Chain A
């Protein structure tokens, strides 16, 4: 099935959780801000949040330094 991540189509398996999807991208879950279909996802929901067909994800990755 397909989702849209930062305006790009991505093919994923049904049942994929947000944290698994992020791992597939090589992104550390603690360093990314996630919005799905316009809703901000809390960090403690990443493990249980299941992506559904056609979901629109917006990811903002952060790097350290300040």
Chain B
């Protein structure tokens, strides 16, 4: 098993030392650990993120495995526990905090105070605007990356990242919701998740440009 310094040195060599130093200081909250949140977490741990706050109330189910970063032997585990296990296999030294509860508009500012970037990865369309309100009114200045519209197998390139306020972004096609013959599937949910992860990285590195 590599030690902490070996991992840090390799990441600094790959990414550039100054960039890596900023990634390593980054604290990111992920709300919802489904198809979006689990993939965002994996991407951020792979690049050496400093700390993640991982929030979900749900357990891993067989029906999640078509798109979410879990394994058959994790069925029945809380998603926070399962994902923590997976992330520690990628980097045993990453700092992880888990929040196993159903989030609400009121609780979000309390639970995620102090994060650099908050990532909204909820499945529930009611929690999406609620989380955006919570961040804008209760966590002023936080970076924010939400998502809306990534079901089915529509055009890759309709998944976009829009800047809606300074340091606040929404990813997705804004319309593809779950319906008959339009399920949530790993490829397109993965596109959206990695838009989110890259936007988090850009925010951590101080990039905040109109696209």
Give A contacts to B, CB under 8 Å: 28, 30-33, 40, 42-43, 60-66
9 tightest CB-CB pairs across the interface, nearest first?
A63-B177, A62-B128, A33-B129, A64-B125, A66-B123, A31-B125, A66-B36, A30-B126, A62-B148
The distance from the CB of A18 to the nearest CB of chain B, in whole angstroms, is 13
Chain B 104-133 residues near chain A, CB threshold 8 A: 105, 121-126, 128-130, 132-133
A38 CA to B122 CA, complexed, in Å: 25
The distance from the CB of B189 to the nearest CB of chain A, in whole angstroms, is 7
Number of interface residues of B (CB under 8 A): 34
List 6 contacting pairs A-B, 8 Å CB cutoff, sorted by A.
Answer: A31-B129, A33-B133, A62-B129, A63-B176, A64-B177, A65-B176
- Decide yes or no whether B175 CB sits under 8 A from chain A: yes
- Decide yes or no whether B37 CB sits under 8 A from chain A: yes
A33 touching B126, Cβ below 8 Å: no
A65 touching B189, Cβ below 8 Å: yes
A40 CA to B150 CA, complexed, in Å: 26
B149 touching A65, Cβ below 8 Å: yes
CB closest residue in chain A, given B162: A60
B133 touching A43, Cβ below 8 Å: yes
CB closest residue in chain B, given A41: B133
- Decide yes or no whether B32 CB sits under 8 A from chain A: yes
A64 touching B124, Cβ below 8 Å: yes
Give B contacts to A, CB under 8 Å: 32, 34-37, 105, 121-126, 128-130, 132-133, 136-137, 147-151, 164, 170, 172, 174-178, 184, 189
A54 CA to B106 CA, complexed, in Å: 32
B129 touching A66, Cβ below 8 Å: no
The distance from the CB of A43 to the nearest CB of chain B, in whole angstroms, is 7
A66 CA to B137 CA, complexed, in Å: 23
A26 CA to B15 CA, complexed, in Å: 47
Question: With a CB–CB cut-off of 8 A, which chain A residues contact B122?
Answer: 66
A63 touching B189, Cβ below 8 Å: no
A63 touching B125, Cβ below 8 Å: yes
Question: With a CB–CB cut-off of 8 A, which chain A residues contact B37?
Answer: 66
CB closest residue in chain B, given A33: B129
A53 CA to B184 CA, complexed, in Å: 41
A28 CA to B177 CA, complexed, in Å: 14
Given known A31-B125, A31-B128, A43-B130, contact A63–B148 (CB-CB < 8 A): yes
The distance from the CB of B97 to the nearest CB of chain A, in whole angstroms, is 21
Given known A31-B125, A60-B170, contact A66–B133 (CB-CB < 8 A): no
CB closest residue in chain A, given B149: A63
